Amino acid sequence: MSSQLLAVAMPFAPPTTDVADFSQETWWITLIKAVFIVVFLITSVVLALWVERRGLARMQTRPGPNVAGPLGLFQAFADAVKLLFKEDIWTEKSDKVIYFIAPIISAFSAFMIFAVIPFGPNVNIAGYVTPLQLTDMPVAILYILAIASLGLYGIVLGGWSAQSTLPLLGSVRSAAQVISYELAMSMSLVSVFIVAGSMSTSEIVASQDRVWWAFALAPAFVIYIISMIGEVNRLPFDLPEAEGEIVAGHMTEYSSMKFAWYFLGEYINMFNVSAVATTVFLGGWHAPFFLSYVPFIDFNGGWFGMLWFTLKLWALFFFMVWTRGTLLRFRYDQFMSLGWKILIPVSLVWLVVVAVMRAVNNWLSDWNNYLIAGVFGLLLSLLVVSFFIGEKKEKPATADSGEFDAFAGGYPVPPLPGQTLPVSPRAGRIRATTAEQETASVTAGVEKEGDNA
């Protein structure tokens, strides 16, 4: 009776925050979840191709796909059929085994990320209470980072096994890119581990019942968003596939279904990084705040969680489409400078700030809020001031006393500031001819003046 009175007196029930409970899991429920993840990802990729093409077309004032099916909805199926029946080309000098396995590694690694992503809370399936999650572990986020690094092997091996210059250059760029931006991404996630007290994805979602970490840890969220775009090689960070420079990067020598595996893995990885951002920073399957305390309805319970998770996932995916239609590709030196000189230092400073705040919060109880606010304000002020202080410009290197030789190291290199290339043979001949003509004209003019005199 008292519980009923309490329920009537407090219609604004707290949101569902249960951690994933696998105690009633059975083998056939696990199989259903695994099949669902595969179908969900493939269906999402098919729909993503249409959304990206139509979205970019609207942004660039053009119609986009509108012939294959109503509103061009069947365009992705037409592309899949084209790739399926396209001629399968094998390069003569390639390492055949690695050349074939590389795209499979890339695609299968992409499918494995969603194994630890929670789609929703615990639900009832045929009398069994089970979470909308395939599995979970105490180090689930580390598992995600490890699988993402494993997927890089597919790109590197594909570029190396083709035995061609441009694919190798694209694969090396991708390796450097992932190493650079995965550092900043990992450190942004560490700040979440500190405040959530866990690396389990379901526990991180449960810790966001009051506030999403995207608001409480805004700098880490911004760093992650930038890093995730660089991690999946999307514009403006698509340096490994720069069409204007290296044709298509590591995929240059691939065709037919081998190219389709790479293509599939790339789009699934876009959903992977979006799912991690949703889980870690955007409350996971939790409903928006204005719906979390609606009277008599628990929008965080049951199957509602899958709806909120999917909406957040697609919002982040569309954000990446938006950046592709808005921003231009970075130069490679700009791209690496952004990662090593800005994102990594800022993420380190923010990590120290969060660790100090967490330690102070554990030590003090009464006046900790004032002290935390003061420390946070001081460090944030120092961070802002450091951005406004410009870097000292280095003096340009001066030319050596000897003549600059672009081929001194065995391969051509551009001259440094202050150095000049030697005159090319053709330019030398042109200059000599021009000098001879000028000398002859001057001589002729002098002789003509002498005759007149």
pLDDT digits (tens, 9 = 90+) for 401-422: 456 666 666 666 777 766 776 6
Has residue 445 been placed in a domain? no
Domain-located, residue 225: yes
* pTM confidence score: 0.75
> At which residue do the structure tokens 């379901």 appear?
202
Q: pLDDT for 297-352, tens place per residue? A: 777 777 888 888 999 999 999 999 998 888 888 877 788 888 888 888 888 888 88
CA 123, distance to chain mean position in Å, is 32
- Answer yes or no: is 109 within a domain: yes
pLDDT per residue over 61-70, tens digit each? 888 888 887 8
Confidence bin at 372 (pLDDT 50/70/90) = low
Site of tokens 């190798």: 168
Residue 26 located in a structural domain? yes
DSSP letters, 243-296, are: HHHHTTGGGTT--HHHHHHHHHHHHHHHHHHHHHHHHHTS-TTPPPHHHHT-TT
- 251, part of any domain: yes
Say what angle helices 96-112 and 27-59 make with each other, to 10 degrees: 100
Query: If you average pLDDT over residues 365-387, what whole number do you get?
Result: 58
Which of 36-45, 159-168, 402-411 is predicted most confidently? Answer: 36-45
Whether residue 223 is contained in a domain is answered as yes
Nearest to 208 by CA among 195, 191, 222, 226: 195
Q: Does the pLDDT value for residue 11 go beyond 50?
A: no
Task: Give the Cβ contact number of residue 259 at 10 Å.
Answer: 19
Asked, for residue 220, whether it belongs to a domain, the answer is yes
Indicate whether 375 belongs to any domain.
no
Number of domains in the chain: 1
Could you tell me which of 90, 144, 81 has the C-alpha nearest to residue 112? 144
Distance from C-alpha of 338 to C-alpha of 451, rounded to nearest angstrom = 71
Domain containing residue 63: 15-341
Helix, coil or strand: residue 402: coil
